[in-house]
Amino acid sequence: MLSVFGHERHSAVIVFFVLSGFVIAWAAERDGSAREYIINRATRIYSVALPALALTWAIDDFLIQYHPEFVNSLYQHAALWKYLPVFSTFSNDFWFLSEDVFSNIPYWSLCYEVWYYVVFGVLVFGRGAWRWTIAIACLLMMGPRLWLLWPVWLAGALLHRLPPLPVKPSRSLLFLSLTMLVFLKISGIEEVLNDIVDRLSGGFAESHLRYSAFFAGDYLVTIAIAGAIHAARGADMASLARLRKPIAAMASISFSMYLTHYPLFLFFNTLFPQQALVIGVLSLGVIIAFGLTFERNKMLLRRGLAALWPLRPAYR
């Protein structure tokens, strides 16, 4: 199964899925229409994902020439016409497809998340029988890997519909949720459940489900994280207000950090092997520059998309 470090990275993605569901449910309510929802989601995703794809391709191209032992994407570079449509439509894990995006392994979670946005948007903004027809068609395209982690994302979306609890119950729930999370990590119950599922499936889970193979343990983590998020809404943590600006600054480039950190680590590790501090500092510098260039200028893409899909004039 996963190494300890690998498992913690996977759990971090589960936390992000729950948060993502919560935020997107709020954003859909704010957007108010299918047009705004589609334009805002496409802007957010493609303003970073496409440059991240280009950066990863360039890094891989360098590594293939000088350090081929670090990459396994030579076959993808040799057939870009075939793989770029898969990467840009985030269909890497549909059914029996099993493609990482060049060397950018963390990109997998975006390929799940984007299609959760699609199905959720259809259910929220669709009308009549078409809503269910299109949603079911999307789910059928996605396949079982994405189905298995859909409840994790959906848990966050459902949280948005719950009213916050009073302060004292919120703080109690926050304590219990964090205690549960610590217990899960210390006890190893996640690994036990995942091993049971893998044995019951005759090894199918680990060999075929890829990043969804650990769904049993992920559901337990989801309960703890969902409880913590819901509790935090009513826990009245005003003392943390002083951290709002630095947190907002980090959040403004967080997407860029997630989609570029892994290939950057690979690249700088080939130049400065075993020098963790140098690798970290250089990677962070590139990430900040990348985020300031693309993530903070995403409104340019939004204006372009909005121009392609103008508002209908109101009938009088």
- Domain assignment present for 288: no
In a domain, 15, yes or no: yes
Secondary structure class of 97 (helix, strand, coil): coil
* Residue-number span of the structural domain to which 68 is assigned: 4-161+237-241
At residue 37, what is the residue type? Y
Does residue 99 lie within any of the structural domains?
yes
Q: Is the residue at 310 inside a domain?
A: no
Structure token digits, residue 21: 């569901």
**Is residue 251 a part of any domain in this protein?**
no
Task: Classify residue 110: in a domain, yes or no.
Answer: yes
Residue 305 falls inside a structural domain: no
pLDDT band at 3 (very low <50, low <70, confident <90, very high): very low
213: three-class secondary structure by DSSP? coil
List Cβ neighbours of 221 (8 Å cut-off, separation of 6 or more): 11, 14, 15, 181, 184, 190
Q: Which helix (H) or strand (E) holds 220?
A: helix 215-234
Q: What are phi and psi of 104, to 5 degrees?
A: -90, 75
What's the whole-number average pLDDT of the chain? 85
Q: Would residue 202 count as lying in a domain?
A: no
For residue 149, pLDDT over 80 is answered with yes
What pLDDT does 67 receive? 84
**Domain count along the chain:** 1
Dihedral-angle region of residue 52 (phi above 0 means left; psi in -120 to 50 means alpha; beta otherwise): alpha
CB 283 within 8 A of CB 264: yes
Are residues 222 and 14 in contact, defined by beta-carbon separation less than 8 angstroms? yes
How many CB atoms sit inside 10 A of residue 81's CB?
7
The three-class DSSP label of residue 309 is coil
pLDDT for residue 12: 87
**Global pTM?**
0.87
pLDDT greater at residue 297 or residue 120: 120
